[in-house]
Amino acid sequence: MNILKPQALKPGDTIGIVAPASHSALPSALLNGRRSLEALGFHTVTAPHLADRHGFLAGRDADRLADLEGMFTDPDIHGIVCLRGGYGSVRMLQRMDFDIVRTNPKVFVGYSDITALHGAIHQRTGLVTFWGPMVASDMSPGFHPYNRDAFMKAVTGADSIGSIVHPEDMPPVQTIHGGMAAGPLIGGTLSLLAAAVGTPYEFEYDGAILFFEDVGEEPHRIDRMLTQLLQSGRLDCLSGIVIGECAGCGSAPDNPAFPYGNFSIEEVFLDRLQPLGIPVIYGLGIGHGTFKATLPLGVRATLDGDARTLAIDEPGVI
């Protein structure tokens, strides 16, 4: 697939803030997040329906979609960062005009539920989008220096990101299977990747390096999602796999789903992924936890399973 890169952001540019999924319960989270972006030299603009609420959604589907498409078409908006995840991005995909995105390529950043949009945009346009921090979730009350620096390097730099720096405060990265791999980087939150299988909006897996993470999932649910990806053949054509931090994933000690026996998360990864025979590492600083490296999706990357490193080999912006 031919990839399309957006223009790099620079100080003075305007970032549009959208809510494609759920709303934020704290108005202060938006205010503090905007302040974090503006401290980096950007102007910020909020989408018209950003404060809307419709059940668990940040407004009705048509309004959230109009906000997103409007940010892409507005020539005064240079980049787009999502407010938060939650749920709802997938509901807009059938109505989304991907020609708008293709003809107005811009930096687009988010994670978690936003995985649905990353996959669809990748499949329909080839635009490089960015798995990275969101305004209410990660830039408020302050922007963690690791996340801030990774974000700026990814969206403003004309050079390749290089090796993803693993935070010293995190446990060491583990090797599930060694070896070297290279290919376009795709991925996101595992539950959204599994839900996209069989739809027109999933990533192109052939030859890719897949990264995934998730939050608050029991080991048997992680196993089910990986089994779905295995049985669909999606994992058979990969060149390598990077597993991020799976924050809060594990058997609940106060209410275990299987009190008579269980697997750990690590055992699930070994059981499901080691037999693939491709490089697999686990625990890199990407996930719903404190640390979030910003990753450009669709660009070339190199995975060293033995050294436990992931390197981004080209810039995601021009």
CATH number for 306: 3.50.30.60
Q: Are residues 92 and 170 in the same domain?
A: no
Strands of the 295-297 sheet, one edge to the other: 43-46, 14-18, 79-82, 107-110, 129-131, 295-297
* CB proximity list for 195: less than 8 A, separation 6 or greater: 90, 116
Instruction: Specify whether 288 is catalytic.
Output: yes
pLDDT in tens, 36-93: 999 999 999 999 999 999 999 999 999 999 999 999 999 999 999 999 999 999 999 9
Percent of the chain with pLDDT over 70: 99
Q: Are residues 19 and 100 in the same domain?
A: yes
* Tokens matching residue 93: 């995909």
Q: Are residues 147 and 280 in the same domain?
A: no
Task: Say what the pLDDT of residue 261 is.
Answer: 76
Would 206 be classed as within a structural domain?
Answer: yes
Question: Mean pLDDT throughout 165-169?
Answer: 93
Q: Are residues 132 and 175 in the same domain?
A: no
pLDDT in tens, 282-315: 999 999 999 999 999 999 999 999 999 999 999 9
Q: Are residues 308 and 166 in the same domain?
A: yes
Domain boundary among 156, 177, 193: 156
Site of tokens 């999924």: 21
Among candidate residues 24, 112, 137, 191, the one labeled active-site is 112
Q: Are residues 306 and 167 in the same domain?
A: yes
Q: Which helix (H) or strand (E) holds 219?
A: helix 219-231
Report the C-alpha gap between 226 and 191 in whole angstroms: 9
Site of tokens 């959230």: 64
SS3 of 5, please? coil
Percent of the chain with pLDDT over 90: 93
Q: Are residues 86 and 171 in the same domain?
A: no
Among candidate residues 213, 217, 218, 245, the one labeled active-site is 213
pLDDT at 259 over 90: no
Would 69 be classed as within a structural domain?
Answer: yes
Interstrand relation of 174-177 and 280-287 (parallel, antiparallel or unpaired): antiparallel
pLDDT at 163 over 90: yes
What average pLDDT is seen over the chain? 96
